[in-house]
Structure 1
Amino acid sequence: MALNFLKPTYLVKSVYDLSVAELKDQGIKAVLTDLDNTLLAWNNPNGTPELHAWLQELKEADIEVVVVSNNTWDRVKKAVAGLDVDYVAWSLKPLPRGILKVLKKQGLKKEEVLMVGDQMLTDVWAAHLAGVRSVLVKQLVESDMWQTWLNRSIEKLAKRIIYRKFGGPIWHDSLGVAAESKDNKTN
Structure 2
Amino acid sequence: MSWLETLMPDEYVASIYEIDLERLWGRGIRLILTDLDNTLVPWNQPTVPESLTKWLKQAHDRGFHVCIVSNNTSGRVLEFAQLSGLPAVGAAKKPKPIGFQQALDRFQMDAKQAVMVGDQLFTDIRGGNRLGMYTVLVLPIEPNEWWGTRMVRNLERVTMPLLCARGLQRPNSLRR
Using the size of structure 1 for normalisation, the TM-score is 0.83
Equivalences for residues 76-91 of structure 1 within 5 A: 76-91=77-92
Question: Secondary structure of 1:80's partner?
Answer: helix
Does structure 2 conserve the Cα–Cα contact (< 8 Å) formed by 1:41 and 1:47?
no
Deviations 1:66-103 (A, max 9, x none): 00001111110112221110000111111121111211
Partner of 1:154: 155
Question: Secondary structure of 2:32's partner?
Answer: strand
Does structure 1 conserve the Cα–Cα contact (< 8 Å) formed by 2:41 and 2:48?
yes
* C-alpha distance in 1 between matches for 2:123 and 2:113: 20
Partner of 2:43: 42
**1:2 to 1:84, Cα distance in 2 relative to 1, 3 A:** closer
Equivalences for residues 23-172 of structure 1 within 5 A: 23-163=24-164, 165-166=165-166, 169-171=169-171
Question: Secondary structure of 2:84's partner?
Answer: coil
Deviations 1:122-151 (A, max 9, x none): 000001111111100111112212231222
* C-alpha distance in 2 between matches for 1:116 and 1:134: 6
RMSD between aligned residues: 2.0
Q: Which amino acid aligns with 2:171?
A: W
Identity score, percent: 31
**1:149 to 1:162, Cα distance in 2 relative to 1, 3 A:** same
Using the size of structure 2 for normalisation, the TM-score is 0.88
Give the deviation of 1:169 after TM superposition. Answer: 3.9
**1:169 to 1:46, Cα distance in 2 relative to 1, 3 A:** same
- Structure 2 stretches lacking a partner, 5+ long: none
Does structure 1 conserve the Cα–Cα contact (< 8 Å) formed by 2:44 and 2:76?
no
Does structure 2 conserve the Cα–Cα contact (< 8 Å) formed by 1:11 and 1:172?
no
Q: Which amino acid aligns with 2:74?
A: W
Partner of 1:176: none
* C-alpha distance in 1 between matches for 2:127 and 2:19: 20
* C-alpha distance in 2 between matches for 1:109 and 1:84: 23
Give the deviation of 1:50 after TM superposition. Answer: 1.2
Q: Which amino acid aligns with 2:154?
A: S
* C-alpha distance in 2 between matches for 1:160 and 1:123: 18
Does structure 1 conserve the Cα–Cα contact (< 8 Å) formed by 2:29 and 2:114?
yes
